[in-house]
Amino acid sequence: MNRILNWGLLSTARINRALIPPLRASKRTRLLGVASRSLSSAETFARAWRIPKAHGSYEDLLADPEIDVIYNSLPNHLHAEWTVKALHAGKHVLCEKPLALSVEEVDAIIAAAKETGRVATEAFMYRHHTQTIRVRELVDEGAIGRLQLIKGAFTFTLTRDGNYRFIKEYGGGSLWDVGCYPISFARTIVGEEPAEVFGWQVTGPEGSDESFYGQMRFGDGVHAQFDCGFASPSRSHMEVVGTEGLIQIPVPFKPGAWSEVAVVRGGKAKKIRIKGRELYLGEVEDICDAVQEQKPPRISLQDSRANVAAILALAKSAEMGGPVRLGNFV
């Protein structure tokens, strides 16, 4: 299947603005439609972004026979439900993170993808960037000796004003929204799942975490520490520590066309400049590869399931006030 893939946006969410340019930059995709809960909203968005088709309901978009791939940018609690519906409608799906809010929901997506023969993958855009790939290579090559520790943060100040990210029932809270990034990063670099986690949280009036502080214990003495939150200044960084040095990643989750990391050994820093491409283009081309060339997506559904399990274990730890083993969530 080498024809152009027609894409439809499932919602008029703000994050769509990040995906529209790469959809138009790729030679294998065409942005054909957008859906909203009202036709007027969809038409307004379609006019603003020069999208040919506007659908007045999510169901109408899924029923459009011209649409091949759905980008699911709905709120967190609707990700699994509409990804499954899209798969059963015969569409491939790129779903925003987090893919789901429970391992059972991920299992439903896995079952639907297997039953329909359609591709579903999670939109962790940073995973496709050459910076992330290069950092993993540096660790595997022994550039910093034996891996010991991964540290990081992802915080920013978020005002309430009815923002659904604060509503616990909607999959709100900083752990699901931004904490998922350092968790995913650590798992990617280590190449395995944590055995045990520990978390602390500061909750807001709606019951979700405004700030979260987490630790993960992997095998062979490897640990990870991170914090995330909606009540601190903008911070986003990762550091990978080994027995002989460390790697500093100042922009881990939104690297640009060029990025830079530093390998520090013996107190001396060697900066490595890495050529990438437009950040969100990688996930677009990845799903094109999966659909057109039958290549496995870089982020498998099992990978996403493991990330959801780690998040759930951390949340449970914060509620219990004690460590939680991952075996209880997988």
Q: pLDDT per residue over 81-130, tens digit each? A: 999 999 999 999 999 999 999 999 999 999 999 999 999 999 999 999 99
- Say if residue 98 is preceded by a cis peptide, omega within 30 of 0: yes
CA distance 235 to 229: 10
How far is residue 275 from each of residues 128, 177, 258, measured CA to CA in Å? 13, 28, 5
pLDDT at 330: 64
Q: Would you say 309 and 329 are in contact if contact means Cβ atoms under 8 Å apart? A: yes
Q: Could you give phi then psi for residue 172, rounded to 5 degrees?
A: -80, 175
pLDDT-above-70 percentage for the chain: 98
User: Under CATH, what is the fold of the domain 127-280+308-329?
Assistant: Dihydrodipicolinate Reductase; domain 2 (3.30.360)
pLDDT at 1: 52
Q: Would you say 152 and 237 are in contact if contact means Cβ atoms under 8 Å apart? A: yes
Q: Would you say 223 and 216 are in contact if contact means Cβ atoms under 8 Å apart? A: yes
Give the model confidence (pLDDT) of 13-55 as tens digits.
Answer: 999 999 999 999 999 999 999 999 999 999 999 999 999 999 9
* Continuous segment of H or E residues that includes residue 282: helix 281-293
- Confidence band, pLDDT 50/70/90 cuts, at residue 188: very high
pTM of the model: 0.96
- Confidence band, pLDDT 50/70/90 cuts, at residue 167: confident
- Confidence band, pLDDT 50/70/90 cuts, at residue 71: very high
Q: In terms of C-beta distances under 8 Å and separation of at least 24 residues, what long-range contacts does 104-111 make, across chains too?
A: 105/79, 105/80, 105/308, 106/80, 106/301, 106/304, 106/305, 106/308, 107/305, 108/80, 108/84, 109/80, 109/83, 109/84, 109/301, 110/301, 110/302, 110/305
Q: Which residues contact 255 (CB under 8 A, 6 or more apart)?
A: 126, 129, 131, 132, 274, 276, 279
CA distance 137 to 190: 11
Give the model confidence (pLDDT) of 240-272 as tens digits.
Answer: 999 999 999 999 999 999 999 999 999 999 999
pLDDT at 165: 87
Question: Which amino acid is present at 155?
Answer: T
Ranges in the chain annotated CATH 3.30.360.10: 127-280+308-329
Ranges in the chain annotated CATH 3.40.50.720: 5-123
Q: What is the mean pLDDT of residues 293-322?
A: 97
Q: Quick one: CATH architecture of 5-123?
A: 3-Layer(aba) Sandwich (3.40)
pLDDT-above-90 percentage for the chain: 93
Tell me what the pLDDT averaged over the chain comes to.
96
